[in-house]
Amino acid sequence: MKPLKIKVIENKELHIKWDDDVETTNELKTLRRLCPCATCSEQRINQSSSFIPLYFEDQIKIEKIFAVGSYAVGIAWKDGHNTGIYEFPLLRQIALASNLIK
């Protein structure tokens, strides 16, 4: 399972076409909220269930996307946060989960 094509749409959504014919769309703010880096993961653990995520524009806009080995993509956000490495299965999971919620 690998992305064939990764596209950022209007700096709001990340669209991925996968090699098994699946296409997923992730909202950038969802990706930022679920940033898998150690710092963000720890913050999420400490948040109460009533926490409402609020973001500045720069935190949910992508500056750059880069390949990490052949298993993940890294996202550098405009606010300078760039330690989030999103493994392919995670991107699929997030897209699937948010589609179910909609």
Report residue 96 as tokens. 């699937």
Q: Is 13 exposed, middle or buried, given 0-12, 13-18 or 19+ CB atoms closer than 10 A? A: middle
Among the listed residues 24, 60, 73, 84, the single contact to Zn ion using CB under 5 A: 84
Query: Measured from the CB atom, is 69 or 80 closer to Zn ion?
Result: 80
Q: Which part of the chain contacts Zn ion (CB under 5 A), choosing from 6-14, 35-43, 45-53, 90-98?
A: 35-43
Q: How many residues bind Zn ion (CB under 5 A)?
A: 4
Out of 35, 73, 91, 94, the only residue in the binding site for Zn ion (CB under 5 A) is 35
Question: What is the three-class DSSP state of 49?
Answer: coil
